[in-house]
């Protein structure tokens, strides 16, 4: 009996080593394929778009802003690279018409090209403080971007991905697996989008479409900047009823801001390319992980 258990454990270990060291290092042919990415204004989305262009992948880059860090800027950067094609579109994933417009523009410019992948990268970091400070407005704002935004994009672009048995890759979070203090709106939305993708994975399997979720921890992007965090907390504090303010006190708010930023400074990873590497593997790995 022990010898059988040892043999089974050895086979499982050998499979794990083979998968990690060999199968997961293989990639499918990616040159010339088309990928649509949301949230290319900055951070992971922008870095992924530029990485794919260098690889010879054609990128349809969705940006929330048209100028500054948005469409015009990444278009200029992308064209310098010169390998893959790049086209940009201004898109607000909280607006159904805007998402449909992005699909129409995509069909206009890439009529004869199948869409290999969707990358639901766009998101907001909805950290405001205790639930006592939040209204349904904060929850809806987070859900509208982090959950419903990804659903809108999938509804409009999945038919194009199904044609070539492509892939859907979505930015989840460790917050989509673990809860925490003072992160109600964000955690709720991340749990929800991961649940949606888990359902979608099963439904798309018969069509040959695979669905993948990235679950990074804290990384030093613009979403985690000290200025942005303080602005969110101060804005929500202004709307908190006087009774609740008296319960917590002004000092609690200030301590919360300092403690949160201290935690970010301690644990946030500055190497954004780690996440980009995982995006690329989810899109083009021969044996990509589901998470």
Cite the active site residues: 186
Token pair, residue 32, equals: 């010339």
Closest by CA to 34, choosing from 285, 283, 214, 288, is 283
CB 215 within 8 A of CB 179: no
Give the residue among 192, 171, 191, 170 at the shortest CA–CA distance from 179.
191
The angle that helices 184-204 and 136-146 make with each other, rounded to 10 degrees, is 30
Calpha distance 16→19 (Å, rounded): 5
Question: E strands, 195-265, where?
Answer: 210-214
For 28, the 3-state DSSP assignment is coil
């Amino acid at each position: 009996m022990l010898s059988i258990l040892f043999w089974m454990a050895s086979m499982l270990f050998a499979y794990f080593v083979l998968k990690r060291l060999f199968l997961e290092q293989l990639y499918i042919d990616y040159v010339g394929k088309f990928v649509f990415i949301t949230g290319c204004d900055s951070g992971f989305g922008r870095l992924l778009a530029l990485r794919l262009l260098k690889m010879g992948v054609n990128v349809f880059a969705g940006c929330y802003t048209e100028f500054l860090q948005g469409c015009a800027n990444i278009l200029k950067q992308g064209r310098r690279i010169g390998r893959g094609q790049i086209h940009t579109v201004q898109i607000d994933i909280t607006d159904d018409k805007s998402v449909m417009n992005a699909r129409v523009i995509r069909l206009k410019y890439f009529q004869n090209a199948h869409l290999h992948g969707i990358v639901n990268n766009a998101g907001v970091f909805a950290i405001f403080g205790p639930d006592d400070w939040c209204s349904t407005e904060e929850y809806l704002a987070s859900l509208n971007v982090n959950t419903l935004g990804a659903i809108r994009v999938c509804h409009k672009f999945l038919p194009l991905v199904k044609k070539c048995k492509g892939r859907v890759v979505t930015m989840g979070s460790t917050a989509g697996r673990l809860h925490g203090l003072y992160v109600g709106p964000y955690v709720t939305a991340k749990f929800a989008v991961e649940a949606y993708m888990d359902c979608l994975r099963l439904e798309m399997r018969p069509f040959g479409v695979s669905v993948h979720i990235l679950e990074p921890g804290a990384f030093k992007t613009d979403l985690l900047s000290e200025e942005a965090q303080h602005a969110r907390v101060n804005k929500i504090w202004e709307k908190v009823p006087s009774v609740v303010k008296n319960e917590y006190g002004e000092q609690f708010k200030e301590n919360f801001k300092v403690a949160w930023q201290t935690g970010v400074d301690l644990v946030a990873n500055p190497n954004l390319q780690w996440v980009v590497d995982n995006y690329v593997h989810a899109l083009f790995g021969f044996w990509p992980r589901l998470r």
